[in-house]
Each structure stands twice: as C-alpha cells, then as structure tokens.
C-alpha cells in the first residue's frame, strides 16, 4: 500500500495561500467554532462538529480522515461518536499545534493523530479510511489544488468509502443577491461597498463554491453517487440595511430561490470500486 509521500518525486507547487498565512489568530478568531474553543481553552467544541458527522453518516467503528483539520475538534467528536480511528491533516503549523492541544484536552486518545501535511500529498496509505471530511477547506484551494486534494481523498478511501465536504460562503449571496439589491436603489449604489466580502474572505477564499461547481469537482476527481445541496445558514452580517437583510431570509424560505440566500453548501460522494 503506497502513501502520498511515495506517490511521486516531483515537488508540490507553492500553494496559492501560504501555510504561514494561517496563524493562531486566524484559527482562534476567524474559523467556525472558534468561540467555543476559546471559551473552554480547547476543552469543548461547538456542536456543529457532531452535526457535520451526522450529515456525513458516520457510523461507529469507522476510520475518519479530516483534511484541513484546523483546531482538531472533529477528531474528538468522531471518537465520541464511536470512530475506531480519527486522523487530522493540516499544512499550517499553527493548526497542528492547536489540534494537539485539543487532543491533549481530551486525554490524548491513542486512536487520534494530527499530522502536518499538504492535502495534495497525504501521508496515509491507500484505502485506509471509511470517511474523509473536508470542512470549510475547498474554498481555500484553487481548482488545480482542489483537484489534487480530492484525488488524494479518493486514494485514502476504501472502495465504497465516503467523502463529505462542507463549504462557505456560497458566492451567489454576494454576486447575485447583494449586487442586485445594491444596483436597484440609487442611494445604495452610493453608500454600499461595491465588494461585500471581508478582507479575510478576499485573502483566503480563492475558490468559493456553489452546489453545481462542487458537484463538478467531486465528479472530476472520480467520485460517484455525488450529491450536493444547501445548508441552513443565512449570513447577512455584510448587508448594510435591515430591509435588505430581511430579503435574504424571505428568499431562504422559497425552494426555487434558496440558492440566492443560503450561505453554506455541502456535498457527499462515494469512492468507486465497491
């Protein structure tokens, strides 16, 4: 069984976003679940991680690989849900330091590890996992980087194993809904920012995904039974006017228009060969 480290002698190209750009400040203040981690000094975790594992259909006894593990809360959540093994990978040293603090706070379970590595070349054997998770990772990877990372995820999965992806933010909430609301009212064109994204989003989110684009990427990597859809998060903090914020909530209740209001996207797919 080969590992990603043995998969080729050619060096990886420099990532679009350098690993060093993701420092402890980023993981402690800009990532989902950061508040719960800080408030408990790594002893607790936001319930969203349990929710993600439920969406992924994780079963007791499964082996879980978490790509872009960040602070590592999903590893602990997976073990508490009955996983036989939980391995987290991140290319940012700050993330691995925090993930190891998270594991230490959970008693350093021997079934869990946090590894410093690039998702495009994973230090794991072929077919060693039942479930690969990527939570808020794919938007940080260019198309080429995403193709490589998804290819490695497929290699790491046993035939019939599952890939679960969660990503935010859906670019349509900016590029369609926000821009249309801004364009329709002359006063808004003068007072609203032309670019609604935050500085961090512009810096780190190099490849925002819609359900359609995520589905294409997963299929391109060779996954089968690909399903993508919208979550429930209506994000309106960036919208300057209360009336316009209410528009997002109204759209979120309309089946045909939810795509223009819901901020998060998820997908699940199966590794072929079962």
* pLDDT single digits (tens) 225-263: 999 999 999 999 999 999 999 999 999 999 999 999 999
Residue 268 CA to residue 162 CA, distance in Å, equals: 7
Residue 213 CA to residue 218 CA, distance in Å, equals: 9
* Rounded average pLDDT over 54-78: 98
The encoded tokens of residue 186 equal 């002359």
Give the dihedral sign, CA 31/35/39/44: negative
pLDDT at 4 > cutoff 60: no
Percent of the chain topping pLDDT 70: 96
pLDDT bucket at 208, cuts 50 / 70 / 90: very high
* Residue whose C-alpha is closest to residue 64's, from 164, 151, 182: 164
- Say if residues 218 and 271 touch (Cβ distance below 8 Å): no
pLDDT at 37 > cutoff 90: yes
The DSSP 8-state label assigned to residue 268 in this structure reads E
Write down the residue that tokens 């997963």 correspond to.
Answer: 218
* Rounded average pLDDT over 258-273: 97
pLDDT at 1 > cutoff 50: no
Percent of the chain topping pLDDT 90: 92
Domain spans in the chain, listed from the N-terminal domain onward: 4-270
pLDDT at 115 > cutoff 80: yes
Burial 31-55 (b: 16+ CB within 10 A, else e): bbbbebbeeeebebbbebbbebbee
pLDDT bucket at 81, cuts 50 / 70 / 90: very high
The DSSP 8-state label assigned to residue 3 in this structure reads B
Q: What is the pLDDT of residue 274?
A: 65
pTM: 0.95
Q: What is the pLDDT of residue 44?
A: 87
* pLDDT single digits (tens) 172-194: 999 999 999 999 999 999 999 99
- Say if residues 150 and 259 touch (Cβ distance below 8 Å): no
> Which runs of E-coded beta strand occur in 104-251?
112-116, 129-135, 157-168, 224-230
The alpha carbon torsion through 152, 156, 162, 168 (nearest 10 deg) reads: -40
* Residue whose C-alpha is closest to residue 125's, from 3, 251, 254, 274: 3
Fold of 4-270: Rossmann fold (3.40.50)
Please report, for residues 134, 231, 262, the alpha-carbon distance to residue 88 in angstroms, rounded to integers and kept in the order given. 10, 24, 28
Write down the residue that tokens 């079962």 correspond to.
Answer: 274
Question: Which SS3 state, helix, strand or coil, does residue 71 take?
Answer: coil
Tell me the chain's radius of gyration from C-alpha atoms: 19
pLDDT bucket at 41, cuts 50 / 70 / 90: confident
The encoded tokens of residue 195 equal 């670019």
Q: What is the pLDDT of residue 200?
A: 93
């Amino acid at each position: 069984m080969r590992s990603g480290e043995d998969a080729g002698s050619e060096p990886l190209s420099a990532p679009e976003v350098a690993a060093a750009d993701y420092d402890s400040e980023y993981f402690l203040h800009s990532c989902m679940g950061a508040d719960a981690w800080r408030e408990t000094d790594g002893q607790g975790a936001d319930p969203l991680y349990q929710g993600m594992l439920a969406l992924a259909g994780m079963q007791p006894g499964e082996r879980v690989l978490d790509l872009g593990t960040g602070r590592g809360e999903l590893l602990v959540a997976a073990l508490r849900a009955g996983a036989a093994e939980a391995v987290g990978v991140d290319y940012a040293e700050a993330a691995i330091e925090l993930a190891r603090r998270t594991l230490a706070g959970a008693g350093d379970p021997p079934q869990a590890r946090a590894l410093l590595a690039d998702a495009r070349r994973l230090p794991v054997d072929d077919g060693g996992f039942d479930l690969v998770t990527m939570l808020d990772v794919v938007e940080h990877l260019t198309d080429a980087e995403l193709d490589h990372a998804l290819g490695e995820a497929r290699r790491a999965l046993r035939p019939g194993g599952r890939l679960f992806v969660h990503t935010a933010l859906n670019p349509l909430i900016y590029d369609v809904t926000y821009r249309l609301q801004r364009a329709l009212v002359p006063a808004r064109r003068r007072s609203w920012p032309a670019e609604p994204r935050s500085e961090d989003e512009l810096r780190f989110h190099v490849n925002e995904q819609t359900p359609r684009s995520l589905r294409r990427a997963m299929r391109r990597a060779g996954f089968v039974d690909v399903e993508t859809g919208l979550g429930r998060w209506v994000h309106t903090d960036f919208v300057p006017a209360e009336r316009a914020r209410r528009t997002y909530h109204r759209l979120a209740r309309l089946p045909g228009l939810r795509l223009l209001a819901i901020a998060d996207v998820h997908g699940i797919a199966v590794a072929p060969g079962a």
